[in-house]
Amino acid sequence: MKVLLEAKNVSKHFGGLKAVDNVDMVIYEGDIFGIIGPNGAGKTTFFNLCSGVFPVTGGEIYFNGENITNLRPDIIAKKGMARTFQNIKLFNYMSVLENIKIGFHIHSRTRMWDAILHTSVYKRDEKLAEEKGMEIIERVGLKDYKDILAGNLPYGMQRMVEIARALALDPKLLLLDEPAAGMNPNETMALMEFIKKLNHEGYTIAVIEHDMKFVMNTCNRIMVLNFGKKICEGDPEYVRSNKEVNEAYFGKGIVVQGGTM
Amino acid sequence: MNEIILKLKSIYDKYKIIIILAGSILLLLVPVIFPKSYIMGIICRILLYIILAGGLNVINGYSSQFCIGYAGFFCIGAYTEAILALRLKINFWLLLPIAGIVTAIAGLLICLPTLKLKGKYLALVTLGFSEIVRLIALNWSSLTGGPMGLKGIPVPKIFGIEFKNSLSYYYIFLFLVAIFLFVTRRVINSRIGRAWMSIREDEQAARSLGVDTSMYKALNFMYGAFWAGIAGAAYAPYTRYIDSTFFTLDEGFNILSMAIIGGMGTLIGPVAGSIVVNLLTELLRPISEYRLVAYAILIIAMMWLRPQGLFGASKSILAGKEIVKKARKAEKEAAA
Ligand SMILES: Nc1ncnc2c1ncn2[C@@H]1O[C@H](COP(=O)(O)OP(=O)(O)OP(=O)(O)O)[C@@H](O)[C@H]1O
Ligand SMILES: [Mg+2]
């Protein structure tokens, strides 16, 4: 199996707070890798380090064999890592289709002159963004909403637009930060199926999620963070039965088998 | 307001070719219809300020960087044209792009150190920049004529026609406005324009999608400055005399008020803003000192009634909340 993303001893301190503390992690090609942990465990911060939003305090991150530690987010995106955000970050005053068109930015070459003179480069780029954009919109089931301003969609749909936008990059690795938050049960089910389908098509996915059922049912490997530290890593069965994980979530002395948080 | 816009739009779509043709002919005949140079003077101002407010709108409205000292760029364009025309006798038509490029470079120089700063700091930097440019124009007498200004700027000529009054100069301004709108529309509706708007909407998200936000912010600033340079270069030989008092901070606020009142983030916004504010300026000429007060009241009223300006991009008719509501309702009914 090929290693796609590897974190070696990665730390992030905010002042005295160790938001991420010496975390080692490996994501293999083809994984649906789950990251769970209580609130404030450092999951989002860990994603932010991988995608270049913050510089690390210590450690190194390798993507596809290449050291990407502290590279700029746009450069990491160009290397094939796309992400969504826990607090949805859509382009609210742009339509759904326009949102997704921006996802094709790295696959297009239009310069100022191309845009002004409508050269063949411009035409090719627009055609790509329009056609592939529509393809992706149809895949996520938002065809009827393509001209609506993204900010006016209900939460669940906004999450799907954000995923669609990330897919436009055609990434090697897709990072999803709590994609089911704000979704109703039907939407959550559909999302689980969708993530599995993407995985079958060859996408490697890392997902942060609070919904245990979601994680246990979709992920093949799971890492558990608590107070910035990795406390457990393994397949769903192993994590479910891990004593430390149950303690972290529910306190000492109570053992719960699975179930939703 | 939204209903009116929608209706106008549907009418426009229906008779597009006829409207464009009739409009173009009408625009070309304007000096024949209004042969008074007073009226043509106002119309020329409107056209000039469409370029200025429009260029500023590309910066403030499309990438949401906040430039207040836009008059500084206008000033650089005007002085570049005037100095090169007077000293080196360079042709006006060549000076237009030269002044644009010089001004764009000035734009790059002031935005480079501020790229990492948040909006309001850039706003302050542009404010200071505008004053510095004006003070240089006022004090570097050997180059700029100092307080005496530059006189006798040669008028543009083409095929033996001299553009020496507002009736003929109207065509130069009209030509430039047409080019500005045409080019800007194409840039906005491309990968570049989308990158600018993504920065306006959410810079972090834009970066996560591979948009080199620093580069695009700089490009955006240069583009806006470029058109201020063009406007300045067209303006200097129009008045044939410039001095530093034309390019005060008030002038910057004047342009900004047009962009705000017309509505930012659309192409039509600054056009409407320029028409409304310039006509108002004429109407309020008797109380000229209080003119800015009137604009301020207008802007405050707008914030109340229509915060996006007359034709602003946000909260626009595309919003389509209703469509979502309908779809949700249908979904619920289907589920029941
Ligand atoms: N930019 C920041 N500056 C300072 N502290 C931060 C910053 N970002 C996160 N933190 C802190 O780091 C810790 C980890 O936060 P993080 O958002 O990574 O948690 P999380 O596991 O994603 O939690 P949640 O499940 O609530 O999303 C928290 O204590 C948080 O307050
Ligand atoms: Mg989080």
**pLDDT bucket at B15, cuts 50 / 70 / 90:** confident
pTM score, two decimals? Answer: 0.88
Residue A112 has pLDDT above 80, yes or no: yes
Residue A258 has pLDDT above 70, yes or no: no
Work out the average pLDDT over B277-290.
82
CA B227 to chain A, closest CA, distance in angstroms equals: 15
Give dist(CA A16, CA A210) in Å, integer.
26
Residue B291 has pLDDT above 90, yes or no: no
Name which residue leads in pLDDT, A43 or B4. Answer: A43
Q: Taking Cα atoms as reference points, which of B26, B30, B20 lies closest to residue B169? A: B30
Sign of CA dihedral B70, B71, B77, B80: negative
Sign of CA dihedral B198, B200, B202, B204: positive
Tell whether ligand 1 has an atom less than 6 A from the beta carbon of residue A43.
yes
Give dist(CA B218, CA B64) in Å, integer.
12
Name which residue leads in pLDDT, B298 or B104. Answer: B104
Based on the number of CB atoms within 10 Å of its own CB, is A258 exposed (0-12), middle (13-18) or buried (19 or more)? Answer: exposed
- pLDDT reported for residue A260: 44
Expressed in angstroms and rounded, the spacing between residue A83 Cα and the centre of ligand 2 is 13
> Is A227 within 8 Å of A213 (Cβ atoms)?
no
Of A136-145, A202-211, A226-235, B119-128, minimum mean pLDDT range: B119-128
- pLDDT reported for residue B175: 93
- pLDDT reported for residue B333: 63
Give dist(CA B50, CA B52) in Å, integer.
6
- pLDDT reported for residue B307: 62
**pLDDT bucket at B319, cuts 50 / 70 / 90:** very low
- pLDDT reported for residue B306: 65
Provide the token pair at B203.
Answer: 């810079």
The pLDDT > 90 percentage for chain B reads: 38
The number of the ligand 1 atom at minimal distance from the alpha carbon of A37 is 21
Tell whether ligand 1 has an atom less than 6 A from the beta carbon of residue A261.
no
Window B:312-331, CB contacts with A under 8 Å: 313-316, 318-321, 323-324, 327-328
* Span A67-106, pLDDT tens digits: 999 999 999 999 999 999 999 999 988 899 999 999 999 9
Say how many CA atoms lie within 13 Å of A132 toward its Cβ.
22
Work out the average pLDDT over A174-184.
91
- pLDDT reported for residue B313: 58
Residue B316 has pLDDT above 50, yes or no: no
Residue A250 has pLDDT above 90, yes or no: no
Of A6-10, A174-178, A231-235, minimum mean pLDDT range: A231-235
* Span B145-157, pLDDT tens digits: 888 888 888 888 7
Amino acid at A253: G
Residue A138 has pLDDT above 50, yes or no: yes
Name which residue leads in pLDDT, B116 or A7. Answer: A7
Q: Which residues contact B228 (CB under 8 A, 6 or more apart)?
A: B52, B55, B56, B70, B73, B74, B76, B77, B103
Residue A169 has pLDDT above 90, yes or no: yes
Among partner residues A78, A83, A112, which is closest to B192 by beta-carbon distance?
A112
The pLDDT > 70 percentage for chain B reads: 89
Work out the average pLDDT over B121-139.
89
Domains assigned to chain A = 1-80+171-261 (3.40.50.300), 89-170 (3.40.50.300)
- pLDDT reported for residue B123: 84
Give dist(CA A83, CA A74) in Å, integer.
11
Among partner residues A91, A104, A114, which is closest to B205 by beta-carbon distance?
A91
- pLDDT reported for residue B315: 46
Tell the CATH topology of B42-335.
Answer: ABC transporter involved in vitamin B12 uptake, BtuC (1.10.3470)
Give dist(CA B137, CA B251) in Å, integer.
15
Residue A5 has pLDDT above 70, yes or no: yes
- pLDDT reported for residue B118: 67
- pLDDT reported for residue A98: 92
Name which residue leads in pLDDT, B269 or A56. Answer: A56
**pLDDT bucket at B113, cuts 50 / 70 / 90:** confident
Q: Which residues of A touch B203 (CB under 8 A)?
A: none
- pLDDT reported for residue A57: 93
- pLDDT reported for residue A259: 46
- pLDDT reported for residue B330: 56
> Is A176 within 8 Å of A163 (Cβ atoms)?
yes
Alpha helices (runs of H) in A60-154, residue ranges in sequence order: 73-78, 96-102, 112-117, 120-139
Q: Which residues contact B256 (CB under 8 A, 6 or more apart)?
A: B56, B60, B68, B70
Q: What is the ipTM of this complex?
A: 0.89
Angle between helices A155-167 and A185-200 (to 10 degrees): 10
* Span B171-229, pLDDT tens digits: 999 999 999 999 999 999 999 999 999 998 889 999 999 999 999 999 999 999 999 99
Beta strand residue intervals within B124-227, DSSP E = 157-158, 161-162
Tell whether ligand 1 has an atom less than 6 A from the beta carbon of residue A34.
no
Give dist(CA A118, CA B314) in Å, integer.
27
Q: Which residues of A touch B328 (CB under 8 A)?
A: 154
